[in-house]
Structure 1
């Protein structure tokens, strides 16, 4: 019996041909890869500066000759906490929508659309009071929640079968970070030279670019990995088998 099991295991290893990972060029030349990179770059290029300008406006820093007042610190802290709470709720809602079969495009577009609306409201409510300005952080949480949730799903769909998930995940994250860094620097330069409204107006204009790029060029990737209700049911059965102490190799050996 022992020798027969060894022969069976050896046969399985010989028949199991490991797939070859795709080349970097194959991953980078995929149209969906650079669409996602450009979308994330322009979104964060427009987004990162907004919280800084919002904090300056809430801290009575609209006059460029005056520094922010003492109440800026609790207001900025409140803005961050409000965005984080909303982000948690948006992530949960997006996850439920994904399990119900909602595609990647609509969820990602909701996150992208939240930014131009947020910029427009901050400009419109610039003199309306701190509570109005603070409430715009709800949209920041919506954008961060949906984009943060759908981003790895998109990367997994694009790189399915290539063995290069981490490569594209790192590339897109780097592009997102580059956009955010440039936004902080150039956005504050615009504040110093042209004022807060001009800086926010620039973010508003730039925030439309990722919406157009993603909305017009990015195809729906949901289902690229065979994600449907049947697969969810199959995964549940696999979990039951694992709990029973069985693995695919054990089942094959038993057969």
Structure 2
């Protein structure tokens, strides 16, 4: 059983890591637009960040399975984000913004699997779902509060202060990380390894992941969900970032805060109910909510109703954020490849996000917003049907620890 110090350290680490990881990422486009960058140039910079993030996921997952000091991986990621934030604030030239985007993107492959590994390492499989729910409560709360504060800073003190504040917040993030006791992170448990008859840890080959049908069906569903989700809000709020209004940062903040507040409220309950009802019913609910959200966005264009519809993203976001980690842990139990599998799923989901931006942007331009949102709803429906018919319930009858 993890000590109270480690559990609370992990809580606040998630809170402050959310601050530094998400607190400025969503504002890059607005900041560069304010610096009079062209739309094409902004898109190129954001693409560089996404590519760096995607390419780091599998190596980062494999590294997390191997490296014993998970805390060191997270500390390196936090320092990388601080560097990216300072570069954006002080030197927003093309070369330096490219470096900042690569640094920021690459942290996804370092920090995301390491946080999941620490969580699994200190609580084990039996308490994993509730621990992940708690992680996302603090993550979402930090994201929402910081987005609101940074939106206000960007509106009234200049958009560069968003990144200076993000850099400053790396300090409490590192302090919180230091409270997680390294001796309480079980190395073998953190990578979901099994044990042989003599109690020694076992590690399966990569072929075991490739042949894992349940991992395959879950990944296909996740890809279709992200294909539907990635560009939905961008199309819905098109034009806000270039309105040149002093309130544009605040409106962008509201779009982030609204669903994150819902995630903070629901995430621990998702972990609890996934143990009570199983994973599959909740997963199907996330697809149903996504379909409804896509349909509503086809009718809404004003800011206030957009924020109301965006609350639905908090429901599906709470379910997906918790269950993605939990289900991957379910289907990789005993392999010792938990973090590598998480990285592989993350890479495919990231590719789906990039395809979504291109595909639905093209559909919207060619056929209109109605056709784009209808296509997103169809993608979500396809993913829901795949999960319904092909994915088994992954909650084990008995945990290995």
Normalised to the residue count of structure 1, the TM-score between the two structures is: 0.73
Instruction: Provide, for residues 50-92 of structure 1, a one-character-per-residue CA deviation record: whole Å limited to 9, x for no partner.
Output: 01011127x4x9xxxxx75736543332111101111112212
Q: Is the 8 A contact 1:154 1:221 kept in 2?
A: yes
Q: Which residue of 1 aligns with 2:119?
A: none
2:337 aligns with: 164
Q: Hey, what does 2:392 align to over in structure 1?
A: 219
Report if aligned partners of 1:120, 1:204 keep a CA contact under 8 Å in 2.
Answer: yes
1 CA distance for matches of 2:295 and 2:338? 36
Q: Mind listing any 5+ residue stretches in structure 2 that lack a counterpart?
A: 1-196
Q: Which of 291, 303, 311 matches 1:116?
A: 291
For the pair shown, which has the larger CA radius of gyration, 1 or 2? 1
Distance 1:17 1:78, change over 3 A: closer
Distance 1:72 1:205 in 2: 31
The residue matched to 2:396 in structure 1 has which SS?
coil
Distance (Å, rounded) in 2 between the aligned partners of 1:72 and 1:184: 22
Deviations 1:198-225 (A, max 9, x none): 211211111111101111110001125x
Distance 1:18 1:43 in 2: 39
Partners of 1:72 and 1:216 in 2: how far apart?
Answer: 44
Cα pair 2:202 2:334 within 8 Å, conserved: no
Query: What's the CA shift string for 1:175-230, capped at 9, x where partnerless?
Result: 11111111112222222222222211211111111101111110001125x14xxx
Aligned to 1:37: 219
8 Å Cα contact 2:228/2:379 also seen in 1: yes
Following TM superposition, where does structure 1 have runs of at least 4 consecutive aligned residues deviating by more than 4 angstroms? Answer: none
- Separation in 1, partners of 2:366, 2:236: 17
Task: State the Cα distance separating 1:97 from its structure 2 match.
Answer: 1.6
CA-atom RMSD in angstroms: 2.3
Matched pairs, number = 204
Query: Shift of residue 17 of structure 1?
Result: 5.3
Which of 97, 101, 104 matches 2:279?
A: 104
2:364 corresponds to 1:191: yes
Candidates 80, 90, 96, aligned match of 2:266: 90
The 8 Å contact of residues 37 and 171 in structure 1, kept in 2 or not, is answered as no
Is residue 328 of structure 2 the alignment partner of residue 146 of structure 1? no
Higher RCO structure, 1 or 2 (CA under 8 Å, sep 6+): 1
Assess, with a 3 A threshold, how the Cα gap between structure 1 residues 179 and 212 changes in structure 2: closer, same or farther. same
2:293–2:313 contact (8 Å) kept in structure 1: yes
| Residues 55 and 75 in structure 1, CA contact (< 8 A), matched pair in contact too | no
Q: In the aligned structure 2, how far is the partner of 1:199 from the partner of 1:40?
A: 19
Q: Match of 1:221, SS? A: coil
